[in-house]
Amino acid sequence: MNTIISATDKLICLTDNTHHNHAINPPIYQSSIFHFDSLDDYIQYRNRQKEAYCYTRGNNPTTRILEEKLAKLDGGEDCRVFSSGMGAIAATLFAVLSSGDHVLVINDVYGPTRAYLATLAKFGITFTIIETEQVVNLAAHVTSKTKVIYTESPGSMTFAPVDLQKVASFAKEHNIITIIDNTCMTSLLQKPLQLGFDVAVYSLTKYTGGHSDVIAGAVVSSRALLAQIDKQGYKLGGSVLSPHDAFLLLRGLRTLPTRLEATAKITQEVVNYLQHNPAIKRVLHPLAYTGEYLKIHQQQTTGITSLLSLQLVTTSTAKTKVFIDNLQTFSITVSWGGFENLVMVQEIAHFAAAKSDKIIIRLALGLLDAPTIIADIEQALLKMEACNE
């Protein structure tokens, strides 16, 4: 599968039309407040008769440049950036949900999002989780109280794709708000709003930052929905992005298309190698799915994520540890989306795609070349085979 990132999107990532004394990089407006020329000016601003910057918990010129770029990349009307992906997700759910509402969750969404939904039980908000196969009969899973359908495609650990157009058209018929966490595709490889979704949420910590040095999030949607999220979830929730972090993300955006193209090539080679390795029982990645799933993936995306999971043939925990501990080019830790290779282990026995085994290993591939990665995996597997436990 070729990675296609449009020339328009590359232009948005790489160029700036903002004017700041011809500086090639917009300055970091490291200011909490902005002042007014007269009291009349301030009053006009308060009465919404005049646009101005006033307080960075509301708006800041550097973060605004980032928001405008992200809104354009998704084809959305507006965007707000947050101090973390969870800040963006929590603000969105808090703003759109009310006591008594139900949320239908599709696919293995990010664990802390499920944990946040569980905390909303104290406000009488309930949720149920279904798997991608159950999308064929969505009507069986919604109730009159279902206010939101929330999904991730591909899912966080199993990477199964969800038919987004089908979900969006069902939700529109039933007056349900659709939210997708599009972190692992970015708006360069998958544009959910153009497939009919109402809201796209992101952790910018991952691909957009790209260098493992910033925590940030974003919400893109229609102007009307964003105004609600802005008022209830952003300004009052308070998890706003700092101008310095916005600057780092603008820098990350400049290389995002090139990084995504590079990691897609690397990932394709590594997935292919793993699929043909007799020590590997199963590879979980959109490219490793077949039939209808692969078709859906190809229809709604223009590239692939560099995240993948695998299951070893061995079920020995000791051997699994030997394999992971001997990987030389992978650091053992959480998160992903940077230049470096990362590995972590998770138990997701509750999901069908991984049901037969408890442990799955997740690899996040960075910019190191595929032959080096493959040689590393090869030597770690040999050390594992040599261990007699």
Ligand X SMILES: *Cc1c(COP(=O)(O)O)cnc(C)c1O
Summarize as ranges the residues that interact with ligand X (CB under 6 A): 84-86, 110, 152, 156, 181, 183-184, 203, 205-206, 215, 217
Cβ-based nearer residue to ligand X, 168 or 200:
200
Closest CB 347 distance from ligand X, rounded Å:
17
**Backbone region of residue 335 per phi and psi (left: phi > 0; alpha: psi in -120 to 50; beta: other values):** left
The amino acid occupying position 304 is I
DSSP E strand stretches across the chain: 78-82, 102-106, 126-130, 146-152, 177-181, 199-203, 217-221, 280-284, 307-312, 330-332, 341-347, 359-364
Cβ-based nearer residue to ligand X, 263 or 314:
263
Closest CB 54 distance from ligand X, rounded Å:
27
Closest CB 245 distance from ligand X, rounded Å:
11
Cβ-based nearer residue to ligand X, 80 or 206:
206
What are 114's two structure tokens?
């499920």
Closest CB 185 distance from ligand X, rounded Å:
10
The amino acid occupying position 222 is S
Closest CB 326 distance from ligand X, rounded Å:
26
Alpha helices (H) in 75-121, listed in sequence order: 85-96, 111-119
Closest CB 130 distance from ligand X, rounded Å:
18
**Which position's Cβ is nearest ligand X?**
85
Cβ-based nearer residue to ligand X, 75 or 111:
111
Chain centroid to CA 176: 22
Residue 160's nearest CA partner among 271, 295, 46, 328 is: 295
Cβ-based nearer residue to ligand X, 59 or 83:
83
- How does 304-314 read in b/e, with b if 16+ C-beta sit within 10 Å? bbbbbbbbbeb
Cβ-based nearer residue to ligand X, 5 or 184:
184
